Structure 1
Amino acid sequence: MKKVTRFFWFCSGAHIDTLKKYPIEHNKYVGIGATIFFTALFASLSGGYAMYFVFSGSAFAVGFAILFGLIWGTAIFNMDRYIVSSINKEGTTNQQILQASPRILLAIMIGVVISRPIELKIFDKEIRQKLKNAYIKGQHRKIDTLEKTYTQKYAMEMGKDVDLKKEKDSLEKDINRSRYQLNQEVFGDKTNQTSGITGYGTYAKQKQAVLEEKENRLKTVTDDQGKMDDYLGRRKDYEGLNSLRLFSDQQLDSLSNVAGFADRNWALGQLGYNDDGSRNLDTYLAETFISWLFILFECLPVFVKLMSPKGPYDVALAKISEANIHFAEKDKDRDIAVTDSVYDYHLDKDVEKKKRLISGQSEYDIERHQYD
């Protein structure tokens, strides 16, 4: 537990040697560190999952996902650690809030980025179904577009084909009627269209000639209509209309499995709407709740640091910081003084004065003598 505690202290960005002296502050920084660690862990999983879909289908997809997940998680961890550790508790509440505002905005952005890939995984089943519906609708639109283009492009040929079919149907009816009348004429049935004389006489020969003429015309029309159908069929193949089919269930499953991150992200956004465009409140609230949950989780370390009162660790850290600043400024002044003295010493041409300066045994004179 001591190792775990020290690890979470490190995650919180605390000065461990100073924090050890104040046991009352230990649990607070363990909690802050644990929150930062698990936020980075979720970020790593989220980034790796997103990268897996970017390289989906590649043999190195898993490797890229693991590598990017580790890098992304480490970057988020370092950023959160800096955000929390840089909040100064010495100012007033308003000053602390103002100081933390950019960090809170950054935390919100990080929370949004982290939550999206995880939402994709949570709603994976619904996303797949939404993608399947989108693919089917897209295929319908594609077929309709091709058919409309084909109809416009070959309107004249199709009109001629329709006319040939109508003429063929009409000829077939006339031939059947003429053949029936010929039989009546040959067998002597008396009607308005027959003479009533039995045998193959003049009237029967006339009806036979008309029948043959219609049959010849039917043969011509049938041949022309067949040629036109064959031509239009080849045009359909050329335009790709005959080869285009609706996706089968197996094809839809395959397409939804290999869908990229952008397609899945679009489908996730569409889950909040019904097919008629109205808002699907249940799904929308679920997505919103998950997003805000991760945003709150990301902002939690900053909120904890802001809400916690100034403790002995904060006071001690402030004093250490002031002392370090004081010593740094003193060292800076000393370095400037030494540099100036050494410079004056080398410019002085009086040898005796140099000896007197050396015998003075002051700190800067000794350093000048050693430098010389």
Structure 2
Amino acid sequence: MEPSARILVFGATGYTGELTARSLVRQGVRPVLVARSAERVTALATELGGLEHAVADAGDATALAGVVRAGDVLISTVGPFLRYGEAAVQVAAEKGAHYLDSTGEGPFLRSVFERWGPVADANGAALLSAFGFDFVPGSLAGALAVEKAGAAATRVDVGYFVRNFGTSGGTRASVAGMMLEQGFAFRDGALRPERAGRRVERFEVGGRTLTAASVPGAEHLALPAAYPQLRDVGSFLGVPPALARGMALATLASTPVRSVRPLKSLALAAAGRLVKGSTGGPSAQQRANASVSIVAVARAADGSVLATSTLEGPDPYDYTADMLAWGAIAAASGRLLSTGGLGPVGAFGLDALVEGCAAAGLKEVGA
């Protein structure tokens, strides 16, 4: 059934944007495709059944504002988001359009919650940042673990582990830029500065003990909002031990660069030249061979383990596209529970999120 509100895909001709547009069409939705290249967006819109389409550049908020209307649902896949993402969230928040994005960049998603969330709330809109593999699975696994643990849970750590995973040009560009940004974590009941890789944890995954390094994720914002008893939240990315140590050293070494604006600007420009976005991504066959595990561990104040939750799912890009499509359809169908900057549980409730993730192939195992 066609949703009652329009769904727009901004960045529709990029790697993740096209996957998302195709997912929506498979589910019977006719989204509006928006991209900077008139030729490419016209060709894709024609291929997908003569969809409505428009031209707007990521750096031109005025052009995008001419396309987006109050009550729309805008999906943004235009990254790196720290470089190109501001216009879409600004237009959505100010216009009163619901918004979802595919970012994995901690500083950007934090600005969505803290800077643009109040604007959207005042205009009756919801902002759902990082509504893909970054970082919906961690919010779901963390919520399931805390629900099992009950009120005694004051800490939850979430680890992401991928197998046979290829990356897109946009992902590589985002990671390069992130190394030069200040990270954060939810510690002692508050969001605090913390560089990526500062903490290393070990998780039990499929009978093996795997290493993961800390990253700034949406869980730091979303889980404390859903479970106020939490005092500490950790988000971790599975990496080999040597790489975890290297990541910690790299972010430590880049601290002087992050602290001096001219040096940071030069470094970001150099990273942009060396690591190009919009260069495509894994093939359908490569994605079919990839899979993920997400593990959440809920602990008591004394550090003892109270409960765990493990999720298994498909390739991160396919999951992201299907999850963005599910979230947009749910938002367009009036299923949002609140407005402003929201985490996945706060946006739809835990039961609905379990349903949506299952539809995208992500399910709890061993429960």
TM exceeding 0.5: no
Is the helix fraction higher in 1 or 2? 1
Normalising by the residue count of structure 2, what TM-score does the alignment of the two structures yield? 0.17
Is the strand fraction higher in 1 or 2? 2
Normalising by the residue count of structure 1, what TM-score does the alignment of the two structures yield? 0.16
